Amino acid sequence: MLLLVAGCTGSGPTLDEAAQVLATDMKKIEPFYPTTNKKTVDRTGKEKSDFAVCAKDETALRSYELSSDFGEDSPTPPDQRVESFSLLLMEELKRIGYEVDRESSWARPGRTIGVLHKKEPGITIILVAQDSRPNVEIIGKTDCIFESR
């Protein structure tokens, strides 16, 4: 009975709290990001900007997306830039508390897809680095969380 009550009181983070962590974490990795054709879509704002893609009633998620290109001025071959960049960024994400999902992450020459999770407050980041444009895409999203507790 005690577990049922604890589960209903909502002891975890609110959607706003998780979204704040997501926005902060994505801004921490921006300095590592290529700046050519850079695009940022920040959907971590307050209520009414939530996605309605969650299966549970009264839950929502927020997202933050980055995309950019490596630029043409590097003498390094594109597939080497992909590998170097993805390793650097995955290490930085691990440093700030994310764990690599080895079941979902994969690589082939010229393309890397990494899926990383931060258990608290419940965030998933998908990193795509490839030799085609956009060269880098990062999509971060919160779990489906109740908007307030």
**14-59 residue pLDDT tens:** 999 999 999 999 999 988 888 899 999 999 987 655 555 687 777 8
CA distance 46 to 129: 30
Q: Is the pLDDT of residue 6 over 70?
A: no
Global confidence as pTM: 0.85
**CB-based contact 138:123 (threshold 8 Å):** no
Which tens digits make up the pLDDT trace of 78-120?
788 898 999 999 999 999 999 999 999 998 888 999 999 999 9
Domains of the chain: 12-146 (3.40.1000)
The predicted pLDDT at position 45 comes to 84
